[in-house]
Structure 1
Amino acid sequence: MPSQFIYHDPPIASLLILSNYFYFLNLFGWAFEWLLSAGLLGQILIGIVWGSPLAEWLHVEWQETFVVVGYIGLLLVVFEGGASTSLSTLTGLLPLSTCIALSGLLVPIALSFLLTPMFNFPLLHSFAAGAALSSTSLGTVLTLLSGPSLGFDIKRSKLGTALLGAAVMDDVVAFILSEILSLVGENTESGAMALGGHIGRAIGVTFGFGFVLIPLTRWIIGPGFLWFKQTRSGKWRTKAGKKGLLFFMVCLFMGMIAGTRYAGTSPLYGAYIAGLVVSYLNDLDTMTDHQAGRLSQEAEMTTMRGTGSDSLHMDQAEPNLSIRASRTASSNHSDQPHPTLIGTFEHYITPLLIYFLLPIFFGSIGYSIPFIPLWRGKNIWRGLIYAILMTFAKAFCGVWLLVWKVPGSGSAGGTFVGGLKGRARESWRGAVLLGFAMIARGEIGLLISQIAYSTPEPLLDEDEFLITIWAIVLCTIIGPAGVGYFVKRWGKSVVDGGWD
């Protein structure tokens, strides 16, 4: 006989704890957004207090559930980041994003080897710590780009596109590094033999999905989407049209994250490229509508002008008739605009993401921070030194904006000959912003460090693990706080030098 779930009223204590947990996640998020322009720090703090590190008001089963629910929020914010990306800009900035990502990976790992002479870390343990600190919190980056109000969508600027591309690459490589550390920590012959296969599989899947999806989207998904839109044009001005678009995005989103994860790479990569597909389809849809609207207005103006002397007399008496006709047609069109993919996402998903899923995600990061053991004598100052090293390691990524040729310009971004010149002098604010946005490690760094600590042959002992956690936590505070401060101070000038 199949088991049966029996419904009963939940205990009042559970209701009160969960109710105030959700409320305080948003309250502290708002307070830290007002104080530091980094609301996620307040949500991480609430996770520490309510979760296992301190009060343990949330049962372990609840915390496990919230980790899953919060990860859905992370995947959705990555999906939104891909949907907000301009594909033409991303293509032109791909070499720059690659250089930023490589710097963000290699410099932290290289500087982490200083832990061997400074704190007597074994070389392999220094590499494990560097692997954890080489990551970039993609969820934090996207939240920072979405949070501050600059009067324009910074994610669609050249600066934001280069930053997102680099963060996604860092995440994919961090996923590969986590697999490497897991296999090395097994210290078995089968693990060593499987290492090359895992690395090759992850790299092959990452590039393979990109190469397959480009022609698939351009010649199959795109034309099919436009055909369906045209054959169902009467329903696209109703709520049923929005729900149809939402169903399409849900299928695409779930299919890509499942496909990438089961194939052997990060599901965050699948969410990002699913967002890129939505960005392409949305631009294609908008361009088609503009063309159709222009043809409709031209046809209407031609009809109103008519032919012969009556038409000539009417044109002379009403010289602005065609303009008024165009405005009338545009007004009639805007009364019932057809839903778009991005508009549908913002209507249904964005409020849920802002007030529920993202707060739960950042709160779940707090569950994994061993708060009390962190305050052990020498681990504090060692963690502080390591955090300073890792802050400079990621901030170095911003240098690329000073020396890179700005896409669409005729000259280089600047040189160091005789000091920073030309566009480099104008780009320094964007370089600082990019560097600070790359600093936060967040969930990816915590995941890799815990893998290294919990393998059968630990790659980090307890003190080394706590030093690494100190660096991750401090970097996750410094990065968002710095971005919030500079955005408040500089505003739109962060994209000066051609990076708008």
Structure 2
Amino acid sequence: MWSSFTYHEPSPTSLLILTSWLYLLNLFGWLSQYILSAQLLGQILIGIIYGTPLAGWLDESWEEAFVVLGYVGLLLLVFEGGLSSSFSQVISLLHISLCVALTGILLPIGLSFIVIPLASSTPLHAFAAGAALSSTSLGTSLSVLNPTAIGFDLRRTRLGTALLSAAVMDDVVAFVLASILKVIGDGAGKNSEIGKNVGRTIGVTIGLGIIILPITRYGLLPLYLRLRRGTKWRTATWGGEPLLIALMVCMFVGMIAAAGYAGTSPLFGAYVAGLACAYIADNEETENPTNKALDVEVDGNDSTERGRSYPLTRINTFPGARTASSSLHLPNDGLFHRNSTQSTTITPNNDYDCIAAPAPTLRSAFHHFLTPLLEYLLIPIFFGSIGYSIPFIPLWRGRIIWRGIIYALLMILGKAFCGLWIVLWPSIGKGIATRGKTSWKGALFLGSAMIARGEIGLLISQIAYNTENPLLTEDEFLIVNWGIILCTIVGPLGVGWMVKRWRVSVTDGGWD
């Protein structure tokens, strides 16, 4: 007798719940983006309403499945963040990213010892609370930098690169702290066991970051460029953008598997895979000048007054659709201010024929095939799963509320101080003569973008609360969750307000 899953038709109730859940995630995401410039807040709200905290319409098996599916979306979002970055900028800004990351880790842990008088905690419990708030939500950071949401791409600027690199470092360290807390909480807190876990995670993280450089430079890049020199792959049914997607999937899956099984965060593996693909894409654009951006002149106050010209950002489209950007094959990076009241003129370079488009690239393949899947399905599900992971009802107890708000304010300050490095950092290149006068906008932006905790903070707090010997009491757990929730709300709201008010001028002072 063989075994198989028994297929049955879903009930009308299940179908209505699922379809309304998926639609409302997108609808409330759009509304919160339009009103608050932070689409994730509406999606988190729908997760709270539909999930366990309130209505409980989603079965537990559905919630578990959505957590996995949403995390796949998070990994793809992190991969896209690496792919959209400039590899050379990541290397050149590694030192300041490290300083920002360390500030964002040490200050929240230090300030968390305020929890001791607030909730009669022990130093170990205060450390566990600080570990949960030391992370930076990489998914939230990438979501607020989404060019389709804000109208231009900050990810390829120095400011965006420093932010994403610091957020990745924070999450890797948070992953180390989570391993430590699990060992201590399960009663196996021997120095050798903790040292083994910490050493393994740190060693694997550094090792993957180092080994990917020669592999990409001397292995993947020559093979890729050799493939590009042929013309058959462009016209074959198995070639073109689908083949580029397959290559990126192999890189993506391979690095996630290497990171996860070796003992570090899969998020780090996804980011490194994206950076490797970015390195290949940057070298590809260097060797193929026909793939460079067409000149774009933008008539608008935000761009013309500063004498800048930026290529088009990505335009949402379903796979295979032919749009203005896809027919011209404009690269989907750089900064570009989109506004319905502005007029845009596209001027081809030299004698280019606009119809004779260059070959597709790794970035264009990702944008055409995977961006719609991410933005309309996987990312809404991810933030919805964050919503029903919040213990919503128990939070509303008087003695928990005021303590949670005080703790959240401290945690907001702990990450906001990260932005000071933008003002204090010595020479980074152009625009340094005025950095002290103009880079304060970038400092406020970076500090606000680092505030959100999100998924990693919830994960660490759950680990600390649910171990064999709990490292957080119920009151401490709820106070920590207040900090996570308020930080995840305040951070995107602050970033949205700044981007709406200052636009690309947040990168002034040499951070563009």
Same fold by TM-score greater than 0.5: yes
Counterpart of 1:272, as a letter, is Y
Separation of aligned partners in 2, 1:386 and 1:150: 30
Q: 1:263 to 1:456 in 2, by over 3 A?
A: same
Query: 1:136 is matched with which residue?
Result: 136
Query: 1:80 is matched with which residue?
Result: 80
Counterpart of 2:353, as a letter, is S
Separation of aligned partners in 2, 1:259 and 1:177: 20
Query: 1:432 is matched with which residue?
Result: 444
Q: What is the correspondence of 1:347-358 to structure 2 with a 5 Å cutoff? A: 347-358=368-379
Confirm or deny that 1:99 pairs with 2:106. Answer: no
SS at match of 1:155: coil
Confirm or deny that 1:376 pairs with 2:397. Answer: yes
In the TM superposition, residue 264 of structure 1 has moved relative to its aligned partner by: 0.5
Could you tell me the percent identity over the aligned residues?
Answer: 56
In the TM superposition, residue 214 of structure 1 has moved relative to its aligned partner by: 0.5
* Shift >6 Å, 4+ stretches: none
Separation of aligned partners in 2, 1:442 and 1:123: 24
Note if contact 1:97-1:162 (Cα within 8 Å) is conserved in structure 2: yes
Separation of aligned partners in 2, 1:379 and 1:193: 37
Query: 2:89 is matched with which residue?
Result: 89
**Structure 2 residue aligned with 1:480, among 474, 480, 492?**
492
Separation of aligned partners in 2, 1:133 and 1:435: 15
Confirm or deny that 1:450 pairs with 2:449. Answer: no
Separation of aligned partners in 2, 1:154 and 1:28: 24
Query: 1:392 is matched with which residue?
Result: 413
Query: 1:49 is matched with which residue?
Result: 49
Query: 1:405 is matched with which residue?
Result: 426
Structure 1 unaligned regions, length at least 5: 294-325, 413-421
Counterpart of 1:429, as a letter, is K
In the TM superposition, residue 192 of structure 1 has moved relative to its aligned partner by: 4.4
Deviations 1:452-474 (A, max 9, x none): 00000000010110000011001
Query: 1:272 is matched with which residue?
Result: 271
Query: 1:249 is matched with which residue?
Result: 248
Decide which moves more: 486-495 or 382-391: 486-495
Counterpart of 1:103, as a letter, is T
Q: What is the correspondence of 1:159-174 to structure 2 with a 5 Å cutoff? A: 159-174=159-174
Note if contact 1:260-1:270 (Cα within 8 Å) is conserved in structure 2: yes
Confirm or deny that 1:491 pairs with 2:489. Answer: no
Q: What is the correspondence of 1:294-305 to structure 2 with a 5 Å cutoff? A: none
Query: 1:367 is matched with which residue?
Result: 388
Separation of aligned partners in 2, 1:75 and 1:405: 33
In the TM superposition, residue 144 of structure 1 has moved relative to its aligned partner by: 0.5
Query: 1:470 is matched with which residue?
Result: 482
Separation of aligned partners in 1, 2:430 and 2:291: 33
SS at match of 1:53: coil
SS at match of 2:8: coil
Separation of aligned partners in 2, 1:250 and 1:292: 23
| Cα RMSD (Å) | 1.8
Separation of aligned partners in 1, 2:9 and 2:74: 31
Note if contact 1:37-1:148 (Cα within 8 Å) is conserved in structure 2: no
Deviations 1:395-415 (A, max 9, x none): 000000011124213857xxx
In the TM superposition, residue 377 of structure 1 has moved relative to its aligned partner by: 1.7
Query: 2:117 is matched with which residue?
Result: 117
Note if contact 2:96-2:421 (Cα within 8 Å) is conserved in structure 1: yes
Counterpart of 1:3, as a letter, is S
Query: 1:236 is matched with which residue?
Result: 234
**Structure 2 residue aligned with 1:335, among 356, 360, 368?**
356
Q: 1:59 to 1:405 in 2, by over 3 A?
A: same
Deviations 1:429-469 (A, max 9, x none): 11001001000000000000000000000000101100000
Counterpart of 2:139, as a letter, is G
Separation of aligned partners in 2, 1:426 and 1:35: 28
Note if contact 1:109-1:134 (Cα within 8 Å) is conserved in structure 2: yes
Structure with the greater alpha carbon radius of gyration: 1
Decide which moves more: 114-123 or 246-255: 114-123
Query: 1:296 is matched with which residue?
Result: none
In the TM superposition, residue 9 of structure 1 has moved relative to its aligned partner by: 1.5
Q: 1:407 to 1:236 in 2, by over 3 A?
A: farther
In the TM superposition, residue 288 of structure 1 has moved relative to its aligned partner by: 1.4
Separation of aligned partners in 1, 2:16 and 2:105: 44
In the TM superposition, residue 60 of structure 1 has moved relative to its aligned partner by: 0.2
Deviations 1:362-401 (A, max 9, x none): 0000111011011112000000000000001100000000
In the TM superposition, residue 234 of structure 1 has moved relative to its aligned partner by: 3.1
Note if contact 1:442-1:473 (Cα within 8 Å) is conserved in structure 2: yes
SS at match of 1:358: helix
Separation of aligned partners in 2, 1:408 and 1:152: 22
SS at match of 2:510: coil
In the TM superposition, residue 187 of structure 1 has moved relative to its aligned partner by: 1.9
Counterpart of 1:117, as a letter, is P
Confirm or deny that 1:13 pairs with 2:13. Answer: yes
Note if contact 2:86-2:278 (Cα within 8 Å) is conserved in structure 1: yes
Larger helix fraction of residues: 1
Scaled by the length of structure 2, the TM-score of the pair is 0.86
Separation of aligned partners in 2, 1:368 and 1:79: 24
Counterpart of 2:198, as a letter, is I
Separation of aligned partners in 2, 1:376 and 1:410: 51
Note if contact 2:285-2:291 (Cα within 8 Å) is conserved in structure 1: no
Separation of aligned partners in 2, 1:292 and 1:52: 49
Query: 1:313 is matched with which residue?
Result: none
Note if contact 1:237-1:337 (Cα within 8 Å) is conserved in structure 2: no
SS at match of 1:466: helix
Separation of aligned partners in 1, 2:435 and 2:74: 35
**Structure 2 residue aligned with 1:344, among 346, 359, 365?**
365
Deviations 1:184-203 (A, max 9, x none): 101236x5431101100100
Q: What is the correspondence of 1:296-315 to structure 2 with a 5 Å cutoff? A: none
Note if contact 1:406-1:498 (Cα within 8 Å) is conserved in structure 2: no
In the TM superposition, residue 423 of structure 1 has moved relative to its aligned partner by: 1.4
In the TM superposition, residue 150 of structure 1 has moved relative to its aligned partner by: 5.5
In the TM superposition, residue 118 of structure 1 has moved relative to its aligned partner by: 3.5
Separation of aligned partners in 2, 1:8 and 1:149: 40
Separation of aligned partners in 1, 2:213 and 2:400: 48
Decide which moves more: 444-453 or 84-93: 84-93
Scaled by the length of structure 1, the TM-score of the pair is 0.88
Query: 1:290 is matched with which residue?
Result: 289
Note if contact 1:148-1:484 (Cα within 8 Å) is conserved in structure 2: no
Separation of aligned partners in 2, 1:272 and 1:470: 29
Note if contact 1:181-1:452 (Cα within 8 Å) is conserved in structure 2: yes
Counterpart of 1:275, as a letter, is G
Note if contact 1:237-1:338 (Cα within 8 Å) is conserved in structure 2: no
In the TM superposition, residue 35 of structure 1 has moved relative to its aligned partner by: 1.0
Separation of aligned partners in 2, 1:57 and 1:292: 49
Query: 2:222 is matched with which residue?
Result: 223
Q: 1:423 to 1:411 in 2, by over 3 A?
A: closer
